[in-house]
Amino acid sequence: MSAVKLTKKTNSSANPHSKFFVQYNTIDIYVLGLSGIYTLLSILFFNKIEWSGRLIGLNALIALFVTFIAYYNNRKKSLILDVIHNFYVVPMIPVMFKQVFFFIPVVHPQDYDTMLIGWDRAIFGTNPTEVLSHFTHPLLTEFLQFCYVSFFFHGLVQGIEMYIANRKEAVRTIARMLGFGLFVSYILYFILPAIGPRFTVHDFANLSNEIPGLWFTEPMRTFINAGDNIVKGELHPMVVVNRDCMPSGHTMITVMNIVLAFQLRSKLRWIFLFIGSCLIFSTVYLRYHYAVDVLAGILCAFIVMWLEPKLWRLLLVKRWVTK
């Protein structure tokens, strides 16, 4: 009895804030960290960033939501709260993604497409997107556009698979690894902002004529364009489009998801490998990325997969997160 009391006392004294901090999952800390960075940038560039006050308010609400759901999920043990806590990051990702493009034009208002084109030519001797333009086919374009759009579901599908199998730790691993990878890619966009070869190497207005699909390619392109701030009929797409080419986040997260699928023995791992490989190829074929973006995305994927577990273990040692 005394040993149990001593253990409880030691654990409590080791971290006087444990009632507050230990309730967080690792992905919660990553969301709060990125929200903190956005808030700091909004304050530092308050007079230069459009909607800076609203962005500060938005990130305050995000912090409150994350804290609320983490706090009550660990106390109420509700199925609904548990599902929300494990999967809220999915709808949170586009919220975090869209914010970064308020800051890039102010923090680093220069595009590096010319340099990236030069790197492609130095490595491959030509523009890879121009080479691939000789091998297009509507059926192939349709399939690859589907693969490109499927990016938004790979991590979610694997997470649902693990949740149904009651592998909660695997769900948290997928969330923290892929979430961390995405957030790192958002920060990396600040270094070399670029708009991609569909605007610079090719004529964006002729994209549908040069690489047409079949039935669903155009609706899927419209969906992707909308996510990039390009609405139908936009007169100046090069001006409004997101600067999110370098590194290729699609490549980076897809590689990470494939590796995790094999590490976690997902039943869908071979499907992830096939569709994911086609997705990576599609980023260049469909002219969303330069080939060097893809190479950088692959490199960043393995760097993040090496770095994130170290950060996770540090957070565990500090007792800032639950396992």
pLDDT value of position 21: 45
Query: Which of 259, 252, 115, 129 is CA-nearest to residue 180?
Result: 252
Q: Is residue 9 part of a domain?
A: no
Q: Is residue 175 part of a domain?
A: yes
Query: Which whole number is the average pLDDT over 115-131?
Result: 96
Range of the domain at 100: 15-317
Rounded Cα distance between 178 and 189, Å, is: 17
pLDDT value of position 100: 92
Q: Is residue 2 part of a domain?
A: no
What total of structural domains would you count in the chain? Answer: 1
- pTM for the full predicted model: 0.89
Task: Record the tokens describing residue 318, joined without a space.
Answer: 């500090």
C-alpha distances out from residue 109 to 33, 101, 104, 191, 224, Å: 24, 11, 6, 10, 23
Rounded Cα distance between 173 and 264, Å, is: 9
Query: Angle at Cα 195 formed by Cα 131 and Cα 291, nearest 5°?
Result: 35
286, pLDDT greater than 80 = yes
Q: Is residue 322 part of a domain?
A: no
3, pLDDT greater than 70 = no
State the CB neighbour count (10 A cutoff) for residue 188.
Answer: 17
Query: Which whole number is the average pLDDT over 144-154?
Result: 96
Residue 47: Cβ-neighbour burial (10 angstroms; 0-12, 13-18, 19+): exposed
284, pLDDT greater than 60 = yes
What would the pLDDT profile of 38-52 be if each residue is shown by its tens digit?
Answer: 999 999 999 998 889
Which of 7-11, 44-48, 123-127, 236-240 is predicted with the least confidence, judged by mean pLDDT?
7-11
pLDDT value of position 323: 66
Rounded Cα distance between 264 and 287, Å, is: 33
Q: Is residue 4 part of a domain?
A: no
Q: Is residue 74 part of a domain?
A: yes
Residue 110 C-alpha from the chain's centroid: 22
Tell me the H-state helices in the chain: 2-14, 18-21, 26-44, 52-76, 79-87, 89-107, 113-124, 128-132, 138-149, 151-164, 168-188, 197-200, 207-210, 217-227, 237-240, 249-263, 269-285, 291-317
Contact 181, 154 (CB under 8 A): no
pLDDT value of position 19: 52
Q: Is residue 133 part of a domain?
A: yes
Q: Is residue 93 part of a domain?
A: yes
What would the pLDDT profile of 194-248 be if each residue is shown by its tens digit?
Answer: 999 999 999 999 999 999 999 999 999 999 999 888 888 888 889 989 999 999 9
93, pLDDT greater than 70 = yes
Q: What is the mean pLDDT of the chain?
A: 90
pLDDT band at 79 (very low <50, low <70, confident <90, very high): confident
pLDDT band at 74 (very low <50, low <70, confident <90, very high): confident
